[in-house]
């Protein structure tokens, strides 16, 4: 039971078929970029969720056969019994904390390339594989369907053997064969698996029945189902076939795990869905149709909303992927009535981006995410101080705040000096831009933590010179002095300043957030970086009434945001707002009221009107203080001799906010650490076995 | 010595510092998509080259430190001593065949994201990482350079411990830190590592000296260097600084491995450089400057050209990556004067595409490539027949030809029936298109092989009905009946036929190669597939004088060809030829002389003129014969009962030509194979060790 009785309802046990979750906190399956390649890292990450109080902890998409080979993406794998030991690492670790472990079995149909296994791809009908590879899947015949059922059943049995308590059938995210069979857009079969809804649901029913028959005696059988595709009448709708499917299968699964499709809708960012609970309108009907427990998601971080959802019978379980990544200890903090300590997800999808790059999951808010095994990091505990040293942190952007907070948590006395009048650095700046307001949580969480500690002195409006640093007499200095956007156009496309830039009306992100008056007439944004910022600024300025032209050497705007599932939305939004997009072009020169752009393919030039040029090309690290401290030390200044100082965050290497937080965390962790241990952690990795038999 | 004395010169031993290669055949480093993830597959693949007679077999880019972490790309890795056992698998296997093993050590500078290691990226100056990730590398200071040298030296020592005979310093392909230091475009340092050529070469010299000092007593030290960037005066030129670098360092390395940069220039496809030896004009000066042996590349497959190159002192070693992939036994075949048996590389870069997808290497010509460990396949030997069964192969496209040839090599009697008057199927068709003529080698190699065998009957102009198949009385039937391009517009963008398509003037690839008269006026190519074919057809038709408009839902033309390093060239070529590219649009309807296209982001429509619509959307499998045989069997026809028949190639699942060849090969390998062994091979894979210590 919770320390605050208003949350008691969240800590009631709930049965899922033959198993019982100890509470209502349910980490739904989510990818992690560790999967079958990094089973120890995967197990340690999931175990942390269990330790943090999640009653159910699921894994991620788990391929059941070589014909559902998601390579190069790294998910879980249960092709045969050889995969059981790796998965058992997770279930054992989750069980240690009294939680249930769930496994999301999947065949991905034409959503797989099978590029590793080289097996022919399978689909409900003949059709191309879903991504840009010139390859087609073949329609499954009856014997293929029979085989598929056999594979799924074998995988269920192996799941049980691996120790899982909950076994999934999965029809969602626009990614799975079961969903393709269901959707008339894909299914034009003329046999008993096509046509009527009942026919299109047949495969799902069979998979559910097979799974129950195989493992239903001891495992809960969950059905993950996207009730709405958010395509209106062109797709599944919650109030049409979405409901009909739930009605047809209502009591068959032991648990309904419901959401919206595709993945970009389910994992919508705060930029496009600011408020938590954005899926509830689609999913809340499910509980009215079935007596089985229901789990649903919506980036929930507010305990009061959770309580309300359960009380008004919208859900039985509070589902979470991203909030459990940002704070694995969210349930424990609610249980112990430490609500203000919850590290809330900012909805940035950095976690999601890792899946697309097949790298271990990370999180802007929680720098320990994905580092549980490699570095032994814990989101709540950090090694106490080793001495009575104190530390000075210069700069309160994401790196400075995180470094200060972690050093303070270790027990060191921390002095945090910020040149500006408010804390947050680039986080404060960027969260002033349209769509990014939730990012301020990165600052708020840390600022609140720091302000409550007795061993932290915070000084704002305090720009420090090297001499002042030395005068302070604090011998360990962390320079989180950040970076500023270049005003000369140097970047990936050109290592030289743009001709004419010195006399042009040039602006950067810093000008926009500080409210500099923009000229009237077309504002040209040059997005040579191709991250998120160029598109954000285009949205920000065009929403404020400016005429905006965005020039990018990329083929689309904000190309990188494909990894955060935002690119299509951004380009659509900008086009609808009338932003002119000039893709595949770099800027070759600038004049008073024009820029000349050049086709990246042919070099062909054209002039476009430009009243003001907003450059998003590259950033300059602010290392002046660092250089001055080096100079002071090298000059033989006696007082400067004992000083240790290092750059962290963007001042060390500009990157994402997540990188800066990580850099600050790493510096705090490594402070007074044995160099051998620091090196060990940097080199740590999982390796292939060399003794696999042929 | 060779059986034909004219090739003797190719089999002379050549010293590389303290080691000696047994002949002049040198497999230069090339990526394989196996790398550190799949060390057993990697070792077996390299060993096959050694068995095939390559005197030197190198590995691939080998990361020397976590700050050169190429994830998600899978190359070799030598971060510390824990990587030695995996690499030793390769050196032991290569040594077994009397060949030398080389290792290409590398630090990639800002060409790495370090997304796994999360180490800050390093570069010659502050600059963005080279790909589309919002992240910057920091300029290396003196202590960074000192550390880099230490890492490189340690890696050299570990290379020796792992059994390598040749250790590389690598400055090429637009990918390495050493090259970035060299190029004034990137290097604007003001210290002794910047400015003059001597200064910019300093790091390379130091790395070479360090490596010689560390391992030069027993290992050859090679320098891989891109002498020309093919950017004219904007970059390194062979006759300018390229030569000057060779002059500066002439006698320092034990071997010069020279090529052109970037990778797309070095690995140019036959579509853009048809003839072998396309790099010689840039690299041949090197031997006039240094007394050390020189290896150079250029997709060499002709023994006479090889002899000529050595005789006229253009090279000492015949370097090869792709020709050694297409035919690992190229040296042996020359040695044994079996020239006509050489399986020549077609220059399609399917091998290269695997690196971009982090999947094991494959080859259009050599379906055993990458399968040496997993399936135990050998490019020259195949298990003999198990019985006196005979086989009928219907269709002589890539799958049918390969299947026939391998069955015949196994000793079965093979009847090959082709409906058309000539062999080759889609290979013959596509190689008629502009730029693809070298692809006919896929047909020619197999046709020549088949025609020389006594156990093969080939019938052209022989379309078979199910009844005729049964009448033939050959009980094992392989249906390689291929696929045809759809004429209704169904594909990724729409699962329904395009409105109006039935009455429009529609064409497909098959029409173009069969010489159908195209209408005058604009030809609209709808490339919904986004593979290579749409761009090839645009080139083909526009070169023939047609006005061409290419519409694609992709953001660029032939988006997939980024994986074969061709996309930029294709788009440049088409734009220069006046082809109009309408990217980010799908076709929503068709009328007599217009098509209506629709923006994939906003749905906004526009009409474009269209005299003829050439559809590249999806293919329909030709399974009529297969269906008829099933029907015949199910009807109870007694003569049909003993028949075994299966689909192979595009008729099973349309894909690349490489996929079809592989499918035909697999069917021949699996014929009369134990089903358990077939399944074992399908499920075979390398797995992570579960006992890595934290």
Strand partners, B487: none
Judge whether B662 is closer than 8 Å to chain A, CB to CB.
yes
Give me the DSSP letters along A15-83: EETTEEESSSEEE-----S-GGG-HHHHHHHHHHHHHTT-SEEEEEEEE-SGGG--TTS--EE-SSGGG
The pLDDT score that the predictor gives to residue A1 is 72
Q: Are strands A122-123 and A136-139 parallel, antiparallel or unpaired?
A: parallel
Last residue of a domain, one of B300, B332, B357: B357
Residue A53 placed within a domain: yes
Residues on chain B touching A533 (C-beta within 8 angstroms) = 134
A107 among known catalytic residues:
no
C-alpha–C-alpha distance, residues B41 and B51, integer Å? 15
- The domain tally of chain A equals 3
A86 vs B contacts (CB less than 8 Å): 687-688, 690
DSSP conformational letter for B72: T
pLDDT at A403: 98
Burial B612-635 (b: 16+ CB within 10 A, else e): bbbbbbbbbbbbebbebbeebbee
Closest CA to B657 of B283, B366, B420: B366
CA atoms within 13 A on the CB side of B482: 22
**A363, part of any domain:** no
CA closest to B40 among chain A residues? A690
* Residue ranges for chain A with pLDDT beneath 50: none
The reply to whether A304 and A434 lie within a common domain is: no
Q: CB contacts < 8 Å between A and B, how many?
A: 232
Where do the DSSP E strands lie in A144-260?
166-171, 220-228, 255-260
Taking the CA of residue A690 and the nearest CA in chain B, the distance in Å comes to: 7
Q: What angle do CA B236, B237, B241 make, to 5 degrees?
A: 70
- Cβ–Cβ < 8 Å for A521, A557: no
Active-site residue identified among A173, A413, A546, A665: A173
Give mean pLDDT, residues B225-243.
Answer: 96
A358 touches B: beta carbon within 8 Å = yes
**Same structural domain for residues A191 and A264?**
yes
**pLDDT value of position B642:** 77
Containing structural domain, residue B124: 5-357
- The four Cα atoms B236, B237, B243, B245 give a dihedral, to 10 degrees, of 0
pLDDT at B590 over 90: yes
Residues B329 and B457 reside in one and the same domain: no
E-assigned strands of A365-475? Answer: 390-394, 413-417, 456-459
Contact criterion met (CB < 8 Å) for B555 and A560: no
- Cβ-count burial of A684 within 10 angstroms (0-12 exposed, 13-18 middle, 19+ buried)? buried
Residues B597 and B448 in one domain: no
Assigned domain for B673 exists: yes
Same domain assignment for residues B244 and B179: yes
* pLDDT the model gives residue B131: 82
Place of tokens 């109870």: B636
Calculate the CA B622 to chain-centre distance.
Answer: 28
Look up residue A674 and give its two tokens. Answer: 């044995």
**Catalytic (active site) residue B31:** yes
**Mean pLDDT rounded to a whole number for chain B:** 97
Query: A143: which residues sit within 8 A by CB, 6+ positions away?
Result: none
Give the contacts of B602 (CB within 8 A, at least 6 positions apart): A572, A575, A576
* Of the partner residues A71, A132, A186, the one whose CB lies closest to the CB of residue B560: A132
Helix or strand run (H / E) with residue B598:
strand B594-599
Closest C-alpha to A317, from A300, A334, A333: A300
Of B40, B126, B600, which is closest to A621 when you measure between CB atoms?
Answer: B126
What are the helix (H) ranges across B396-473? 398-410, 426-430, 441-451, 466-472
Q: Does B576 touch chain A (CB under 8 A)?
A: yes
- A79–B656 CB contact, under 8 Å: no
CB contact under 8 Å between A621 and B128, yes or no, is: no
pLDDT category at B72 given cuts 50, 70, 90 is: very high
Interchain contact, A127 vs B80, CB within 8 Å: no
Tell me, yes or no, if A669 comes closer than 8 A to chain B by beta carbon: no
- The per-residue pLDDT of chain A, averaged, comes to 97
- CATH code assigned at A667: 3.40.50.720
Angle at A621 between CA A620 and CA A623, to 5 degrees: 135
Domain boundary among B568, B594, B619: B619
For A286, the token pair is: 């499910």
B539 and B604 inside one domain:
yes
CATH of the domain at B162: 3.20.20.70
Both A346 and A430 in a single domain? no
CATH number for position B608: 3.50.50.60
Instruction: Report the candidate in B395, B588, B646, B492 with the shortest Cα–Cα distance to residue A126.
Output: B492
Same domain, A347 and A413: no
Across the beta sheet with B136-139, the strand order is B122-123, B136-139, B127-128
What sign has the CA pseudo-torsion A188, A191, A196, A200?
negative
Name residue B565's beta-bridge partners: none
Residue B475 CA to residue B463 CA, distance in Å, equals: 18
Give dist(CA B392, CA A171) in Å, integer.
41
- The whole-angstrom separation of Cα A631 and Cα A245 is 71
How would you classify the pairing of strands A166-171 and A127-128? unpaired
Residues of B in contact with A373 (CB under 8 A): 694
pLDDT digits (tens, 9 = 90+) for B299-333: 999 999 999 999 999 999 999 999 999 999 999 99
- 3-state secondary structure at position B401: helix
The stretch B164-171 carries a mean pLDDT of 98
Which of A588, A619, A650 finishes a domain?
A: A619
> Which residue from A454, A446, A302, A301 is spatially nearest to A366, judged by alpha carbons?
A446
Rounded to 10 degrees, the C-alpha dihedral A63/A68/A71/A75 comes to: -20
Cβ atoms within 10 Å of A673's Cβ, excluding its own? 13
Distance CA B405, CA B668 (A): 9
Q: Is B623 on the interface with A (CB under 8 A)?
A: no
- Assigned domain for B187 exists: yes
Please say whether the beta carbons of A17 and A312 come within 8 A: no
Q: Within this chain, do residues A287 and A316 fall inside the same structural domain, yes or no?
A: yes
Domain contains B172: yes
Please state whether the peptide bond connecting residue A29 to the residue before it is cis, i.e. omega within 30 degrees of 0. Answer: no
Mean pLDDT over residues B557-581, rounded? 98
pLDDT beyond 90 at B694: no
The lowest-confidence range among A639-653, B91-105, B179-193 is: A639-653
Determine, yes or no, domain membership for B515: yes
Q: Which residue in B266, B449, B528, B659 is the catalytic one?
A: B266
> What is the DSSP secondary structure assignment for residue A210, as one 8-state letter?
H
Q: Is residue A688 part of a domain?
A: no
A302-319 pLDDT, tens per residue?
999 999 999 999 999 999
Yes or no: say if B286 and B226 are a contact pair by the CB < 8 Å rule: no
Q: Identify the three-state secondary structure at position B594.
A: strand
Domain shared by A133 and A56, yes or no: yes
Domain assignment present for B280: yes
A497 close to B (CB below 8 A): no
Q: Are residues A496 and A601 in the same domain?
A: yes
d(CA B237, CA B224): 16
My answer on whether B83 and B183 are in the same domain is yes
Q: Which helix (H) or strand (E) holds B476?
A: strand B476-479
Q: Determine the 3-state secondary structure of B394 from DSSP.
A: strand
Q: Is A73 a catalytic residue?
A: no
The per-residue pLDDT for range B100-133, each reduced to its tens digit, is 999 999 999 999 999 999 999 999 999 999 988 9
Which one is catalytic: A26, A168, A170, A532? Answer: A170
Q: Which of the four pLDDT bands, split at 50, 70 and 90, describes residue B81?
A: very high
Cβ–Cβ < 8 Å for A424, A395: no
């Amino acid at each position: 039971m919770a320390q605050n009785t208003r949350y008691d309802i969240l800590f009631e046990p709930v049965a899922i078929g033959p198993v019982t979750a100890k509470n209502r906190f349910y980490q739904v399956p989510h990818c992690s970029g560790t999967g079958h390649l990094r089973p120890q890292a995967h197990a340690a990450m999931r175990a942390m969720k269990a330790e943090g109080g999640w009653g159910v902890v699921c894994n991620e998409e788990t391929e059941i056969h070589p014909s559902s080979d998601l390579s190069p993406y790294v998910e879980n794998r249960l092709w045969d019994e050889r995969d059981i030991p790796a998965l058992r690492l997770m279930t054992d670790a989750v069980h240690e904390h009294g939680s249930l472990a769930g496994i999301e079995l999947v065949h991905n149909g034409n959503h797989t390339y099978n590029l590793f296994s080289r097996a022919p791809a399978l689909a409900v009908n003949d059709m191309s594989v879903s991504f840009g590879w010139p390859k087609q899947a073949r329609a499954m015949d009856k014997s293929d369907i029979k085989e598929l059922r056999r594979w799924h059943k074998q995988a269920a049995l192996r799941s049980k053997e691996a120790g899982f308590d909950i076994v999934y059938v999965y029809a969602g995210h626009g990614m799975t064969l079961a969903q393709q069979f269901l959707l008339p857009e894909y299914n034009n079969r003329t046999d008993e698996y096509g046509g009527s809804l009942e026919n299109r649901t047949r495969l799902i029913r069979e998979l559910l029945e097979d799974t129950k028959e195989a493992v239903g005696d001891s495992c809960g059988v969950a059905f993950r189902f996207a009730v709405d595709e958010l395509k209106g009448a062109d797709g599944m709708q919650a109030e049409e076939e979405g409901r009909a499917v739930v009605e047809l299968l209502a009591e068959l699964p032991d648990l309904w795990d419901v959401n919206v499709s595709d993945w970009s809708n389910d994992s919508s960012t705060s930029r496009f869905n600011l408020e938590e609970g954005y899926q509830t309108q689609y999913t809340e009907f499910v509980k009215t149709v079935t007596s089985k427990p229901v789990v649903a998601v919506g980036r929930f971080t507010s305990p009061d909303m959770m309580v309300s959802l359960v009380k008004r019978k919208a859900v039985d379980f509070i589902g979470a992927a991203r909030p459990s990544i940002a704070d694995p200890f969210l349930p424990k903090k609610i249980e112990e009535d430490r609500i203000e300590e919850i590290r809330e997800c900012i909805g940035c999808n950095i976690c999601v981006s890792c899946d697309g790059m097949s790298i271990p999951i990370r999180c802007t808010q929680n720098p320990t995410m994905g580092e549980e095994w490699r570095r032994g990091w814990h989101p709540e505990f950090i090694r106490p101080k080793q001495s009575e040293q104190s530390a000075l942190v210069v700069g309160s952007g994401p790196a400075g705040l995180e470094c200060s907070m972690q050093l303070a948590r270790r027990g060191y006395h921390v002095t945090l000096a910020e040149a500006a009048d408010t804390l947050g650095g680039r986080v404060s700046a960027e969260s002033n831009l349209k769509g990014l307001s939730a990012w301020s949580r990165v600052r708020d969480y840390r600022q609140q933590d720091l302000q409550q500690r007795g061993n932290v002195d915070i000084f704002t409006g305090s720009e420090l010179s090297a001499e002042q640093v030395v005068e302070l007499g604090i011998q360990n200095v962390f320079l989180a002095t950040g970076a500023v956007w270049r005003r000369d156009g140097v970047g990936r496309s050109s290592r030289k300043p743009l001709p004419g830039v010195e006399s042009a009306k040039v602006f950067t992100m810093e000008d926009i957030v500080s409210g500099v008056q923009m000229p009237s007439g077309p504002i040209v944004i040059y997005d040579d970086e191709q991250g998120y910022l160029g598109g954000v600024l285009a949205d920000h300025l065009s929403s404020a009434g400016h005429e905006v032209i965005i020039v990018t050497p990329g083929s689309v705007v904000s190309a990188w945001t494909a990894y955060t599932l935002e690119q299509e939305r951004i380009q659509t939004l900008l086009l609808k707002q009338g932003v002119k997009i000039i893709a595949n072009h770099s800027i070759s020169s600038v004049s008073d009221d024009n820029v000349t752009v050049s086709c990246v393919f042919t070099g062909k030039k054209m002039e476009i009107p430009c009243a003001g040029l907003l450059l998003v090309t590259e950033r300059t690290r602010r290392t002046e203080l660092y250089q001055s401290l080096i100079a002071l030390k090298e000059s033989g200044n006696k007082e400067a001799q004992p000083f240790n100082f290092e750059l962290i965050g963007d001042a060390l290497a500009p990157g994402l906010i997540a990188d800066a937080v990580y850099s600050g965390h790493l510096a705090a962790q490594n402070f007074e650490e044995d160099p051998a241990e620091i090196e060990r952690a940097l080199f740590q990795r999982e390796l292939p076995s060399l003794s696999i038999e042929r």
